[in-house]
Chain A
Amino acid sequence: MVLRRCLQAASWLSLAIVVGTPTAYLLDGMTLDAVKAWMLGGTVLWFLVTPFWMGRPVPTS
């Protein structure tokens, strides 16, 4: 259960990166090249961790 929560947190973090960095660019807080690099990092993180919990049964104990 703890591992699942950690993985979920990592997934949420990756989504925050994917949408947060373009928002930072909109607000002039980041360059476009940096946004592209961060978005790729967020994407890799999402696909690395999400399959381990999404769509899988929640452990009962």
Chain B
Amino acid sequence: MVVGLLVGNAFAVLSWMFLTAPIATKARLTLYYQLEKICGRQLVTLYNLANGVMFCFLAGAMITVSATAVGVWVPIEMPGLNDVYPNSAGWVVTVLVVGALIAVVAAYGYESVAKFANIASPWMVLVFLAFGIVALREFLDETHTTIRSAGDLWALASTTIWKGGDAFPGQTKFTFWHVAFFAWFCNMAMHIGMSDLSVFRFARKSWYGIATASGMYIGHFMAWLSASMLYALQLYKVQLTPDEIARLAQAGLLEKFRSHELLLTAEQIRQLIEANVLSGPPAVLPGPLAYNACGLAGVLCVIIAGWTTANPTIYRAGLAFQAIVPRSSRFVVTLLTGALATVAGMFPAIAMKLLGFVALYGLVLMPMGAVIFVDFWLMKKFGLQSNYAELSGRAFNWAAGLAWLVTLAICWGLVQFAGIQIYFVSLPGWFIAAVIYIGASLYYQKRVRPNAV
């Protein structure tokens, strides 16, 4: 896991440096303007719709995360790891309240939230570090281990914290390659998908893309390791209710459970589910996990992290939708977007299966990144024209549209019928999109001449 994150994050940083930033610093255009020149107004509208919907679901997952923090104080039934639908009225009401608050703040503009997020971020980074430090101490106490060298620490990490094993029921087994590819592609929409053209157009040099390493190695390395330590600790110290212990005894598993095989393995969880002790693998609930480790400061960190992520995401989704209906009120569109995100947040499947969702999000937007890359660097080499929608005056560049839709169809087929997991399909998908765009452009640019309008 540690090496997988190091490698995957390095690839992500390199993608920003060598794919996104060079185009951004040469063209100095936002993603949407760049796309409109290549794809035409109608295709960009379709892209905006897909982008807006994906942003809504992402914001919904963040609302779910913030809502779990409410469960620290209010006795509501929390969703489990394998839950798809809302599991209690209390959960629905909690998400509704949290989502409504976030949506209203987003509708009033996100400048004040952005300022607040800037102020909170140094503190947040250190609270995430604190999660890891506290979890490490707890592991030392629970396992009666003493660390005298880096070797001792590595032994604890590899035999107790990240010890591997079979996947939990209903979950995907993650290998080194899963971790590395997920770390690389979880922000795929931003680097390979070119969303960050809008940000890097302000950079003086393309190598400034290396600045993303700070975000990756603090957020997607240190914070992820800390979060995984908290969950591993929860599994190690799993606390059962008296009722669950009674059912465990009835099933003849109590002694095995008490002999400190408490670090739940997939096999143990399967046994506990069969014995009707657990209904599924222990849930990942950021609020309670953070509260147990760092108290109120930890819960505040979860709330602020979820809020400051959901807020601009709802705002961005609102902008994407507003671009489709330009005369609509931004306030109303953002509120409606927030409502959609809140409904999405009620379904715990999005947050509990966030890894799969983020992979899908990157996959959906990735082909347009390939189109931009090819259009910017390769079109002239094939005797083709760049920015063909602008040149031909067409509102829908079919070459780009085909590259997007056919790539998605092929990737879907690879996942459904060829057994390739969604975490890996985006890499071949990028090359497929590039080839289709070039091939389709060779045909399209012969048929649709620049002077056709």
A25 B137 Cβ-Cβ under 8 A: yes
B115 at the interface (CB under 8 A from A): yes
Interface residues of A in 2-48 (CB under 8 A from B): 14-15, 18-19, 21-23, 25-26, 32, 35-37, 39-40, 42-43, 46-47
CB distance from B291 to the nearest CB of A (A): 9
B295 A22 Cβ-Cβ under 8 A: no
B300 at the interface (CB under 8 A from A): yes
Known interface pairs A40-B295, A43-B297; A18-B130 also in contact (CB < 8 Å)? yes
C-alpha gap A27/B118 in the complex (Å): 31
Q: Which of A15, A35, A43 contacts B300 (CB 8 A)?
A: A43
Cβ contacts A45-57/B at 8 Å (1 or 0 each): 0110011001100
Interface residues of B in 289-307 (CB under 8 A from A): 294-298, 300
Contacts of B296 in A (CB 8 A): 36, 40, 43
A26 B133 Cβ-Cβ under 8 A: yes
C-alpha gap A42/B295 in the complex (Å): 12
C-alpha gap A61/B315 in the complex (Å): 39
Q: Which of A15, A25, A50, A55 contacts B126 (CB 8 A)?
A: A15
Q: Which of A15, A23, A54, A55 contacts B133 (CB 8 A)?
A: A23
C-alpha gap A47/B117 in the complex (Å): 11
Contacts of A18 in B (CB 8 A): 123, 126-127, 130, 297
Known interface pairs A39-B294, A39-B295, A43-B300; A25-B133 also in contact (CB < 8 Å)? yes
Contacts of A46 in B (CB 8 A): 123
Complex: chain B residue closest to A33, CB-CB: B295
Interface residues of B in 123-169 (CB under 8 A from A): 123, 126-127, 129-130, 133-134, 136-137
Cβ contacts B58-87/A at 8 Å (1 or 0 each): 000000000000000000000000000000
Contacts of B418 in A (CB 8 A): none
Q: Which of B126, B137, B295 contacts A36 (CB 8 A)?
A: B295
Q: Which of A15, A35, A50 contacts B134 (CB 8 A)?
A: A35
Tell me the number of A-to-B contacts counted with CB atoms below 8 Å.
Answer: 66
For chain A, the count of residues having a C-beta within 8 Å of the partner chain is: 23
Interface residues of B in 104-127 (CB under 8 A from A): 115, 118-120, 122-123, 126-127
CB distance from B158 to the nearest CB of A (A): 19
Contacts of B134 in A (CB 8 A): 22, 25-26, 32, 35
Contacts of A39 in B (CB 8 A): 127, 130, 294-295, 297-298
Q: Which of A14, A19, A40, A54 contacts B129 (CB 8 A)?
A: A19
CB distance from B315 to the nearest CB of A (A): 19
CB distance from B276 to the nearest CB of A (A): 33
Known interface pairs A22-B134, A25-B133; A54-B118 also in contact (CB < 8 Å)? yes
B123 A43 Cβ-Cβ under 8 A: yes
Contacts of B298 in A (CB 8 A): 36, 39
Contacts of A26 in B (CB 8 A): 133-134, 136-137
Complex: chain B residue closest to A21, CB-CB: B130
Q: Which residues of A contact B (CB under 8 A)?
A: 14-15, 18-19, 21-23, 25-26, 32, 35-37, 39-40, 42-43, 46-47, 50-51, 54-55
A14-B123, A22-B129, A22-B130 provided; 17 other pairs, C-beta below 8 A?
A: A15-B126, A18-B127, A22-B137, A25-B133, A25-B134, A26-B133, A35-B134, A35-B294, A36-B295, A37-B295, A39-B298, A40-B296, A47-B123, A50-B119, A50-B123, A54-B118, A54-B119
Q: Which residues of B contact A (CB under 8 A)?
A: 115, 118-120, 122-123, 126-127, 129-130, 133-134, 136-137, 294-298, 300
Interface CB pairs A-B, < 8 A, 22: A15-B122, A15-B123, A18-B123, A18-B126, A22-B130, A23-B133, A25-B133, A25-B134, A26-B136, A35-B134, A35-B295, A36-B295, A36-B297, A36-B298, A40-B295, A43-B123, A43-B127, A47-B119, A50-B119, A54-B118, A54-B119, A55-B118
